[in-house]
Protein backbone atom coordinates (compact mmCIF):
# COMPACT_ATOMS: atom_id res chain seq x y z
CA UNK A 1 0.00 0.00 0.00
CA UNK A 2 2.75 2.32 0.89
CA UNK A 3 4.21 2.05 -2.56
CA UNK A 4 1.41 4.08 -4.09
CA UNK A 5 0.57 6.03 -1.00
CA UNK A 6 2.69 8.96 -1.95
CA UNK A 7 0.90 12.11 -2.81
CA UNK A 8 3.58 13.22 -5.16
CA UNK A 9 2.76 10.73 -7.89
CA UNK A 10 -0.34 12.64 -8.94
CA UNK A 11 0.36 16.07 -7.61
CA UNK A 12 2.00 17.56 -10.68
CA UNK A 13 -1.41 18.42 -12.08
CA UNK A 14 -3.28 18.60 -8.81
CA UNK A 15 -6.99 19.24 -8.81
CA UNK A 16 -8.63 20.39 -11.98
CA UNK A 17 -12.10 21.39 -12.86
CA UNK A 18 -14.40 19.23 -14.98
CA UNK A 19 -14.84 18.41 -17.77
CA UNK A 20 -11.57 16.53 -18.02
CA UNK A 21 -12.32 15.27 -21.50
CA UNK A 22 -12.11 17.97 -24.13
CA UNK A 23 -13.43 18.03 -27.67
CA UNK A 24 -11.19 18.24 -30.68
CA UNK A 25 -12.51 21.59 -31.79
CA UNK A 26 -10.32 24.67 -31.77
CA UNK A 27 -10.56 28.25 -32.90
CA UNK A 28 -7.62 27.63 -35.19
CA UNK A 29 -9.46 24.72 -36.80
CA UNK A 30 -12.61 26.79 -37.29
CA UNK A 31 -10.70 29.67 -38.87
CA UNK A 32 -8.59 27.43 -41.11
CA UNK A 33 -11.69 25.62 -42.35
CA UNK A 34 -13.28 28.91 -43.31
CA UNK A 35 -10.09 30.08 -45.02
CA UNK A 36 -9.87 26.85 -46.97
CA UNK A 37 -13.50 27.15 -47.94
CA UNK A 38 -12.74 30.41 -49.71
CA UNK A 39 -10.47 28.62 -52.19
CA UNK A 40 -13.17 27.70 -54.76
CA UNK A 41 -14.41 31.26 -54.83
CA UNK A 42 -10.89 32.60 -55.04
CA UNK A 43 -10.17 30.27 -57.92
CA UNK A 44 -13.31 31.38 -59.76
CA UNK A 45 -12.35 35.00 -59.20
CA UNK A 46 -8.87 34.33 -60.51
CA UNK A 47 -10.19 32.54 -63.56
CA UNK A 48 -12.66 35.24 -64.46
CA UNK A 49 -10.89 38.38 -63.28
CA UNK A 50 -7.22 37.51 -63.51
CA UNK A 51 -4.39 37.13 -61.07
CA UNK A 52 -5.30 40.29 -59.26
CA UNK A 53 -7.58 38.50 -56.80
CA UNK A 54 -4.85 36.07 -55.80
CA UNK A 55 -2.26 38.82 -55.41
CA UNK A 56 -4.74 40.87 -53.40
CA UNK A 57 -5.47 37.99 -51.04
CA UNK A 58 -1.77 37.35 -50.47
CA UNK A 59 -0.97 41.01 -49.94
CA UNK A 60 -3.95 41.60 -47.61
CA UNK A 61 -3.13 38.51 -45.54
CA UNK A 62 0.41 39.71 -45.14
CA UNK A 63 -0.71 43.16 -44.04
CA UNK A 64 -3.31 41.69 -41.68
CA UNK A 65 -0.82 39.38 -39.98
CA UNK A 66 1.66 42.24 -39.77
CA UNK A 67 -0.90 44.50 -38.11
CA UNK A 68 -1.93 41.76 -35.67
CA UNK A 69 1.69 41.05 -34.76
CA UNK A 70 2.48 44.73 -34.33
CA UNK A 71 -0.47 45.44 -32.05
CA UNK A 72 -0.06 42.27 -30.01
CA UNK A 73 3.61 42.98 -29.42
CA UNK A 74 2.73 46.56 -28.50
CA UNK A 75 0.34 45.09 -25.93
CA UNK A 76 3.17 42.82 -24.81
CA UNK A 77 1.34 39.59 -25.46
CA UNK A 78 2.54 36.42 -27.12
CA UNK A 79 2.55 37.09 -30.87
CA UNK A 80 2.60 33.43 -31.84
CA UNK A 81 -0.34 32.64 -29.54
CA UNK A 82 -2.51 35.28 -31.19
CA UNK A 83 -1.35 34.68 -34.74
CA UNK A 84 -1.98 30.97 -34.39
CA UNK A 85 -5.74 31.44 -34.04
CA UNK A 86 -5.72 32.44 -37.75
CA UNK A 87 -8.36 35.12 -37.21
CA UNK A 88 -6.10 37.85 -38.64
CA UNK A 89 -5.36 35.72 -41.65
CA UNK A 90 -9.06 35.22 -42.26
CA UNK A 91 -9.73 38.95 -42.11
CA UNK A 92 -6.96 39.54 -44.64
CA UNK A 93 -8.24 36.83 -46.97
CA UNK A 94 -11.81 38.13 -46.87
CA UNK A 95 -10.71 41.69 -47.60
CA UNK A 96 -8.52 40.46 -50.42
CA UNK A 97 -11.54 38.74 -51.93
CA UNK A 98 -13.83 41.71 -51.46
CA UNK A 99 -11.58 44.41 -52.90
CA UNK A 100 -11.45 44.92 -56.67
CA UNK A 101 -8.86 42.55 -58.17
CA UNK A 102 -6.62 45.29 -59.39
CA UNK A 103 -6.94 47.60 -56.45
CA UNK A 104 -3.59 49.35 -55.92
CA UNK A 105 -1.45 48.13 -53.05
CA UNK A 106 -1.95 51.20 -50.91
CA UNK A 107 -5.72 50.84 -51.12
CA UNK A 108 -5.52 47.34 -49.67
CA UNK A 109 -3.05 48.52 -47.07
CA UNK A 110 -5.38 51.25 -45.88
CA UNK A 111 -8.38 48.92 -45.82
CA UNK A 112 -6.67 46.07 -43.99
CA UNK A 113 -4.77 48.17 -41.47
CA UNK A 114 -7.85 50.20 -40.63
CA UNK A 115 -9.90 47.06 -40.20
CA UNK A 116 -7.28 45.33 -38.09
CA UNK A 117 -5.98 48.14 -35.93
CA UNK A 118 -9.03 50.32 -35.44
CA UNK A 119 -11.79 47.88 -36.23
CA UNK A 120 -10.43 45.02 -34.16
CA UNK A 121 -7.61 45.77 -31.79
CA UNK A 122 -8.69 49.16 -30.51
CA UNK A 123 -11.82 47.41 -29.24
CA UNK A 124 -9.77 44.81 -27.42
CA UNK A 125 -8.87 42.27 -30.05
CA UNK A 126 -10.54 39.06 -31.11
CA UNK A 127 -13.99 38.59 -29.66
CA UNK A 128 -14.41 42.19 -28.60
CA UNK A 129 -14.99 44.01 -31.87
CA UNK A 130 -18.56 45.21 -32.43
CA UNK A 131 -18.04 45.57 -36.20
CA UNK A 132 -16.85 43.14 -38.79
CA UNK A 133 -13.22 44.30 -39.25
CA UNK A 134 -13.08 43.35 -42.93
CA UNK A 135 -16.23 45.26 -43.77
CA UNK A 136 -15.09 48.25 -41.72
CA UNK A 137 -11.86 48.41 -43.74
CA UNK A 138 -13.80 47.93 -46.96
CA UNK A 139 -16.24 50.75 -46.21
CA UNK A 140 -13.43 53.13 -45.26
CA UNK A 141 -11.76 52.77 -48.65
CA UNK A 142 -15.12 52.65 -50.46
CA UNK A 143 -16.01 56.04 -49.05
CA UNK A 144 -12.53 57.47 -49.38
CA UNK A 145 -11.61 56.16 -52.82
CA UNK A 146 -14.84 55.48 -54.71
CA UNK A 147 -13.11 55.67 -58.10
CA UNK A 148 -10.70 52.85 -57.36
CA UNK A 149 -13.27 50.82 -55.56
CA UNK A 150 -15.93 50.66 -58.21
CA UNK A 151 -13.80 49.65 -61.18
CA UNK A 152 -13.47 46.01 -61.89
CA UNK A 153 -11.67 44.44 -64.76
CA UNK A 154 -13.75 43.01 -67.56
CA UNK A 155 -14.26 39.34 -66.98
CA UNK A 156 -12.63 36.55 -68.93
CA UNK A 157 -13.48 36.40 -72.62
CA UNK A 158 -13.97 40.10 -73.06
CA UNK A 159 -11.74 42.41 -74.90
CA UNK A 160 -8.96 43.99 -72.96
CA UNK A 161 -8.84 41.21 -70.47
CA UNK A 162 -5.51 41.15 -68.77
CA UNK A 163 -4.54 37.70 -67.71
CA UNK A 164 -0.81 37.79 -67.27
CA UNK A 165 0.61 37.52 -63.76
CA UNK A 166 3.31 40.10 -64.31
CA UNK A 167 0.84 42.62 -65.63
CA UNK A 168 -1.35 42.01 -62.64
CA UNK A 169 1.60 42.45 -60.29
CA UNK A 170 2.67 45.67 -61.96
CA UNK A 171 -0.87 46.96 -61.89
CA UNK A 172 -1.14 46.45 -58.18
CA UNK A 173 2.44 47.35 -57.32
CA UNK A 174 3.36 49.90 -60.03
CA UNK A 175 7.14 49.96 -59.79
CA UNK A 176 7.93 52.70 -62.25
CA UNK A 177 5.94 51.40 -65.22
CA UNK A 178 2.36 51.88 -64.23
CA UNK A 179 -0.38 50.28 -66.23
CA UNK A 180 -3.43 52.43 -66.29
CA UNK A 181 -6.29 50.48 -64.84
CA UNK A 182 -8.74 52.94 -66.27
CA UNK A 183 -7.87 51.91 -69.79
CA UNK A 184 -9.03 48.38 -69.27
CA UNK A 185 -11.52 48.62 -66.41
CA UNK A 186 -15.17 48.00 -66.72
CA UNK A 187 -18.19 48.54 -64.49
CA UNK A 188 -19.76 45.58 -62.74
CA UNK A 189 -23.20 44.31 -63.79
CA UNK A 190 -24.78 45.75 -60.67
CA UNK A 191 -23.33 49.13 -61.55
CA UNK A 192 -24.51 48.97 -65.12
CA UNK A 193 -27.99 47.99 -64.07
CA UNK A 194 -28.14 50.78 -61.55
CA UNK A 195 -27.03 53.40 -64.06
CA UNK A 196 -29.40 52.08 -66.73
CA UNK A 197 -32.29 54.42 -67.32
CA UNK A 198 -33.35 53.75 -70.89
CA UNK A 199 -32.92 50.14 -71.88
CA UNK A 200 -35.10 47.18 -71.06
CA UNK A 201 -33.40 44.30 -69.36
CA UNK A 202 -33.25 42.28 -72.56
CA UNK A 203 -31.74 45.18 -74.46
CA UNK A 204 -29.28 45.74 -71.68
CA UNK A 205 -28.24 42.11 -71.76
CA UNK A 206 -27.67 42.26 -75.47
CA UNK A 207 -25.99 45.64 -75.50
CA UNK A 208 -23.56 45.10 -72.69
CA UNK A 209 -20.93 42.42 -72.97
CA UNK A 210 -20.57 42.26 -69.19
CA UNK A 211 -23.93 40.47 -68.99
CA UNK A 212 -23.94 36.81 -69.58
CA UNK A 213 -26.23 34.15 -68.23
CA UNK A 214 -28.35 35.23 -65.31
CA UNK A 215 -26.10 37.48 -63.32
CA UNK A 216 -23.31 38.63 -65.54
CA UNK A 217 -20.26 37.03 -66.96
CA UNK A 218 -18.12 35.38 -64.29
CA UNK A 219 -20.11 36.73 -61.38
CA UNK A 220 -22.55 33.90 -61.38
CA UNK A 221 -19.76 31.33 -61.14
CA UNK A 222 -17.97 33.21 -58.41
CA UNK A 223 -21.18 33.35 -56.40
CA UNK A 224 -21.98 29.70 -57.02
CA UNK A 225 -18.48 28.78 -55.78
CA UNK A 226 -19.06 30.67 -52.53
CA UNK A 227 -22.48 29.05 -52.19
CA UNK A 228 -20.94 25.59 -52.47
CA UNK A 229 -18.26 26.44 -49.91
CA UNK A 230 -20.90 27.85 -47.58
CA UNK A 231 -22.97 24.68 -47.74
CA UNK A 232 -19.82 22.72 -46.98
CA UNK A 233 -19.14 24.86 -43.90
CA UNK A 234 -22.70 24.40 -42.66
CA UNK A 235 -22.31 20.67 -43.13
CA UNK A 236 -19.09 20.79 -41.11
CA UNK A 237 -21.01 22.67 -38.41
CA UNK A 238 -18.70 25.67 -38.52
CA UNK A 239 -21.78 27.86 -38.45
CA UNK A 240 -25.52 27.26 -38.61
CA UNK A 241 -27.76 27.83 -41.62
CA UNK A 242 -29.72 30.60 -39.93
CA UNK A 243 -27.70 33.66 -40.92
CA UNK A 244 -27.13 32.85 -44.61
CA UNK A 245 -30.69 31.55 -45.02
CA UNK A 246 -32.07 34.73 -43.52
CA UNK A 247 -30.01 36.95 -45.80
CA UNK A 248 -30.60 35.04 -49.02
CA UNK A 249 -34.31 34.66 -48.31
CA UNK A 250 -34.63 38.36 -47.59
CA UNK A 251 -32.84 39.30 -50.82
CA UNK A 252 -34.98 36.89 -52.80
CA UNK A 253 -38.19 38.16 -51.25
CA UNK A 254 -37.25 41.82 -51.71
CA UNK A 255 -36.17 41.24 -55.31
CA UNK A 256 -39.41 39.40 -56.06
CA UNK A 257 -41.54 42.07 -54.42
CA UNK A 258 -39.89 44.91 -56.33
CA UNK A 259 -39.26 43.12 -59.59
CA UNK A 260 -41.13 45.01 -62.24
CA UNK A 261 -40.32 42.75 -65.11
CA UNK A 262 -38.14 43.67 -68.00
CA UNK A 263 -38.69 47.41 -68.16
CA UNK A 264 -35.95 49.97 -68.01
CA UNK A 265 -36.88 50.77 -64.42
CA UNK A 266 -36.41 47.14 -63.42
CA UNK A 267 -34.18 46.39 -60.45
CA UNK A 268 -33.24 42.99 -61.78
CA UNK A 269 -34.58 39.52 -61.15
CA UNK A 270 -34.26 37.69 -57.82
CA UNK A 271 -31.75 35.30 -59.32
CA UNK A 272 -29.72 38.20 -60.66
CA UNK A 273 -29.50 39.62 -57.14
CA UNK A 274 -28.72 36.29 -55.52
CA UNK A 275 -25.90 35.51 -57.93
CA UNK A 276 -24.25 38.83 -58.49
CA UNK A 277 -22.01 41.13 -56.55
CA UNK A 278 -20.96 40.00 -53.11
CA UNK A 279 -24.21 38.24 -52.22
CA UNK A 280 -22.84 34.76 -51.59
CA UNK A 281 -19.51 35.93 -50.20
CA UNK A 282 -21.49 38.08 -47.78
CA UNK A 283 -24.03 35.42 -46.86
CA UNK A 284 -21.54 32.67 -46.06
CA UNK A 285 -18.30 34.44 -45.18
CA UNK A 286 -19.11 37.93 -43.97
CA UNK A 287 -22.31 37.88 -41.94
CA UNK A 288 -21.35 34.54 -40.42
CA UNK A 289 -18.60 36.28 -38.46
CA UNK A 290 -19.83 35.21 -35.02
CA UNK A 291 -18.10 37.96 -33.08
CA UNK A 292 -19.95 40.91 -34.57
CA UNK A 293 -23.20 39.11 -35.43
CA UNK A 294 -26.14 38.03 -33.36
CA UNK A 295 -25.48 34.97 -31.25
CA UNK A 296 -28.63 32.89 -30.91
CA UNK A 297 -30.01 30.97 -33.87
CA UNK A 298 -33.18 33.02 -34.01
CA UNK A 299 -31.06 36.14 -33.65
CA UNK A 300 -28.91 35.09 -36.59
CA UNK A 301 -31.95 34.55 -38.73
CA UNK A 302 -33.12 38.07 -37.96
CA UNK A 303 -29.62 39.45 -38.37
CA UNK A 304 -29.26 37.80 -41.79
CA UNK A 305 -32.69 38.95 -42.91
CA UNK A 306 -31.83 42.49 -41.88
CA UNK A 307 -28.65 42.38 -43.93
CA UNK A 308 -30.55 40.96 -46.90
CA UNK A 309 -33.22 43.65 -46.84
CA UNK A 310 -30.63 46.38 -46.55
CA UNK A 311 -28.45 44.96 -49.31
CA UNK A 312 -31.40 45.12 -51.65
CA UNK A 313 -32.41 48.60 -50.51
CA UNK A 314 -28.90 49.90 -51.10
CA UNK A 315 -28.62 48.18 -54.48
CA UNK A 316 -32.01 49.36 -55.67
CA UNK A 317 -32.27 52.83 -54.28
CA UNK A 318 -28.98 53.63 -52.56
CA UNK A 319 -25.90 55.48 -53.71
CA UNK A 320 -23.68 52.43 -54.17
CA UNK A 321 -23.97 49.55 -56.62
CA UNK A 322 -23.54 46.93 -53.87
CA UNK A 323 -24.44 47.18 -50.19
CA UNK A 324 -23.17 44.09 -48.40
CA UNK A 325 -20.56 46.03 -46.42
CA UNK A 326 -22.90 48.82 -45.34
CA UNK A 327 -25.71 46.40 -44.56
CA UNK A 328 -23.40 44.25 -42.45
CA UNK A 329 -22.10 47.20 -40.44
CA UNK A 330 -25.60 48.53 -39.86
CA UNK A 331 -26.80 45.16 -38.62
CA UNK A 332 -23.65 44.80 -36.47
CA UNK A 333 -24.92 47.79 -34.57
CA UNK A 334 -28.28 46.10 -34.08
CA UNK A 335 -26.79 42.76 -33.02
CA UNK A 336 -26.70 43.33 -29.24
CA UNK A 337 -30.33 44.43 -29.28
CA UNK A 338 -31.29 41.44 -31.39
CA UNK A 339 -29.51 39.25 -28.85
CA UNK A 340 -31.54 40.71 -26.01
CA UNK A 341 -34.79 39.82 -27.72
CA UNK A 342 -33.92 36.41 -29.10
CA UNK A 343 -32.89 34.38 -26.07
CA UNK A 344 -34.03 30.80 -26.58
CA UNK A 345 -36.55 29.35 -24.17
CA UNK A 346 -34.64 27.61 -21.40
CA UNK A 347 -35.55 24.07 -20.35
CA UNK A 348 -38.28 24.16 -17.74
CA UNK A 349 -39.39 27.70 -18.53
CA UNK A 350 -42.71 28.62 -20.08
CA UNK A 351 -41.32 31.32 -22.30
CA UNK A 352 -38.06 32.95 -23.23
CA UNK A 353 -36.72 35.97 -21.40
CA UNK A 354 -36.78 39.08 -23.51
CA UNK A 355 -35.13 42.47 -23.40
CA UNK A 356 -33.01 43.70 -20.55
CA UNK A 357 -33.23 42.26 -17.05
CA UNK A 358 -36.09 43.79 -15.12
CA UNK A 359 -35.07 46.06 -12.31
CA UNK A 360 -37.08 45.60 -9.18
Partner 1 sequence: MNAIAKSPHQDIQSPVAGSQVIASSERKIWPLTGGVHPEENKHQSTSCPVSVPPLPETLVLPLSQHAGLPADPLIRVGDKVLKGQMIAKASGFVSAALHAPTSGTITAIENRPIPHASGFYDLCIILAADGQEQWCQLAPVTDYRQLSPAELVEKVRDAGISGMGGAGFPTAIKLAPGTAINTLILNGTECEPYITADDMLMREKADAVIEGAEILQYMLGAQECLIGIEDNKPEAIAAMRRAAAGKNIDIVVFPAIYPSGGEKQLIQILTAQEVPSGKLPADLGMVVQNVGTAVAVKEAIVDGKPLISRITTLTGDALTAPQNVEALIGTLAQDLLQYAALKASELSTLVFGGPMMGFSVDRMDIPVIKTSNCLIAATEDEFPAAPDAQACIRCGHCAEACPSSLLPQQLYWHARAENHEQLMHHNLFDCIECGACSFVCPSSIPLVQYYRASKGAIRTQEAKHAKSERSKQRYEDRLARLAQEKAEKEAKRKANAERAAKLKAAKTAEKTGSDAKAEEDPIQAAIARAKARKAAAAGASESTSAGQAPSASDRPLSAKQKELKVQLSMAKAQAKKTERALAAAEASAELKGDRGDIEQLKSNLAMLHEQVSKLQQAFDEKAQDSASKNNPEKPAKAPLSDEAKKLKIESAMANAAVKKLQRAIASAGEDELDTLKQQLVTAEQKAAEMKQALEGLS
What are residue 186's phi and psi, to 5 degrees?
A: -155, 145
CA distance 144 to 264: 31
- Cβ-based nearer residue to partner 1, 197 or 350: 350
Return the number of the residue (261 or 348) whose C-beta is nearest partner 1.
348
Cis upstream peptide for 19 (omega within 30°): yes
- Sites of contact with partner 1 (CB under 8 A): 1, 3-5, 7, 9-23, 25-30, 81, 85, 87, 125-128, 237, 239-240, 290-291, 293, 295-297, 300, 339, 343-350, 353, 356-359
CB 17 → partner 1: shortest distance, Å?
Answer: 5
Nearest distance from residue 326's CB to partner 1, in Å? 22
| Residue 352 three-state SS | coil
Q: Long-range CB contacts (< 8 A, 24+ apart) of 194-201?
A: 194/315, 194/321, 196/264, 197/264, 198/264, 199/264, 200/262, 200/263, 200/264, 200/266, 201/261, 201/262, 201/263, 201/266, 201/268, 201/269
Q: Which is nearer to partner 1, 18 or 177 (CB)?
A: 18
Please report how close the Cβ of residue 96 comes to partner 1 at its closest, in angstroms. 21
Q: Rank residues 87 and 208 by Cβ distance to partner 1 and give the closer one.
A: 87
**Minimum Å distance from CB 353 to partner 1?**
5
Indicate the residue among 197 and 359 with the shorter CB distance to partner 1: 359
Please, what is the minimum distance in Å from the beta carbon of residue 83 to partner 1? Answer: 12
DSSP annotation string for 38-96: THHHHHHHHHHH-THHHHHHHHHHHHHHHHHHHHHHHTT--HHHHHTT-HHHHHHHHHH
| Shorter beta-carbon distance to partner 1: residue 232 or 259 | 232
Query: Between residues 22 and 183, which has the closer beta carbon with respect to partner 1?
Result: 22
Identity of the residue, 99 or 335, whose beta carbon is nearer to partner 1 in the bound complex = 335
For the CB of residue 114, give the shortest distance to partner 1 in the complex, in Å: 21
Q: How far apart are CA 99 and CA 141, in angstroms?
A: 9
CA dihedral of 59, 63, 69, 70, whole degrees rounded to 10: 150
The DSSP-derived string for 200-230 is: -HHHHHHH-TT--TTT-TTHHHHHHHHHHHH
Question: In the complex, what is the shortest distance from the CB of residue 295 to partner 1, in angstroms, rounded to a whole number?
Answer: 5
As a 3-state breakdown, the chain gives helix, strand, coil percent values, each rounded to 5, of 60, 0, 40
Nearest distance in Å: CB 359, partner 1: 8
Amino acid sequence: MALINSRSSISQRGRETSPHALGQNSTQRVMSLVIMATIPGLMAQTVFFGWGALINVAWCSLVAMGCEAAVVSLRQRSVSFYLSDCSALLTGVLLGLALPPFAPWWLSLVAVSFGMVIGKHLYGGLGQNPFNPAMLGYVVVLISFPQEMTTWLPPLGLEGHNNSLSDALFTIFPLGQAVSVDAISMATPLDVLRENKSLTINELWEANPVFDGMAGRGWMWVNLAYLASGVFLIWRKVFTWHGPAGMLAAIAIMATLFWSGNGSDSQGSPLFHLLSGATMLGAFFIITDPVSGATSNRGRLIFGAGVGVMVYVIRAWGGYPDGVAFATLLMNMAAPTIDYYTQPRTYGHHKANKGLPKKD
